[in-house]
Structure 1
């Protein structure tokens, strides 16, 4: 699987170096729409590729689409998306200012008592979808990435990421100049009372910190060889 995935990524990258970022993303999204790299291809309604501004310096990366996302083809449009948009607005940010996507582009779910329920993606599913994520990041070239939840942080920051200890910390990595992680909105929605309010405030604060980090990164001198 690993070698096949690497080869597929190389093939995708070979002829996508020209055109605007929007055009290049559109081409990658069209290819992703017919992806059969994992078993989720057999159960999806459609691929949920991404949403937002291809020129954005800030990218948000979640875990996987759910029922509403699978139906609409857009990430974060269910209850978690409503919460995320509200927290973005508190920072004077809308989706036209960012680009948002997930580790996995198809909905993982199980069927219990005749009803489909969301489930976390498997490592195999994450690995199969990783070329699409890496290609997206390579095109957009964000200055800052904010991971929504530990699964994204495990891929984009480091393995074994502990949200309770490392949330809000900034890391320098291969995918962006600065990367941090915050609570996934779906996790916050499972909380109640003071715990919900505290986690929501932290999400708002972490988005504010990401916005500030973008400003700082834009002011930093670009590294050159000479």
Structure 2
């Protein structure tokens, strides 16, 4: 069993915050742990909680399409979230997704940091503003700073892109909703990751 497998096993029984009380599954991550590129979202939703897999709802389908438009699949990269359990508001009786609290996010860094340390990605692509604020800088502005490279303590560099759920909402209004930007950002992140790995291997 690899260290990453051990982390996943330990995370599956985590009770460090209140999110464990209503979860169905811990959504640890999936893909190629040897990939030079890791995609990091904010947290799982309903479908992810049910399946234990990241990005499997409508947002995940859009992400898969953007990967395919770059000749990639989930097996080429690694995907995870900053928070491993679904954050939901149960006050109405029917759970609705909500953003994780700062405390929940901070607590789950106990899993995220060793996870990324074990994978050792060359590039991290933060999916959406919350992930970028967690991994790049607290005052990250997705509309102004997506597509730019930033130093990152968990990789050689990090870049952020629009979240598929945001794109889907925008597509309901008009146009591609920023889908082309997502495709471009994935392309740049992947090419940069390959280039950095190649340079390292040639040393």
Smaller-chain TM-score bracket: over 0.9
Any stretches of 5+ residues in structure 1 without a counterpart?
1-18
Aligned residues: 202
Give the match for residue 87 of structure 1.
66
What secondary structure sits across from 2:90 in the alignment? strand
1:129 to 103, 108, 118: 108
> Using a 3 Å threshold, how does the CA distance of structure 1 residues 135 and 196 change in structure 2: closer, same or farther?
farther
Deviation string for 1:91-122 (max 9, x for gaps)?
01111110000010000001354321101100
Any stretches of 5+ residues in structure 2 without a counterpart?
none
- Residues 17, 104 of structure 2: 8 Å contact kept: yes
Q: TM-score, normalised by structure 1?
A: 0.85
1:159 to 135, 138, 141: 138
Give the match for residue 38 of structure 2.
59
- Residues 61, 152 of structure 1: 8 Å contact kept: yes
**What is the distance in 2 between the residues matched to 1:51 and 1:221?**
25
User: RMSD of aligned C-alpha atoms?
Assistant: 1.6
- Residues 137, 175 of structure 1: 8 Å contact kept: yes
Structure 1 segments, 4+ long, off by >6 Å, are none
Residue 178 of structure 2 corresponds to residue 199 of structure 1: yes
The structure with the largest alpha-carbon Rg is: 1
Q: TM-score, normalised by structure 2?
A: 0.94
What secondary structure sits across from 1:76 in the alignment? coil
- Residues 42, 130 of structure 2: 8 Å contact kept: yes
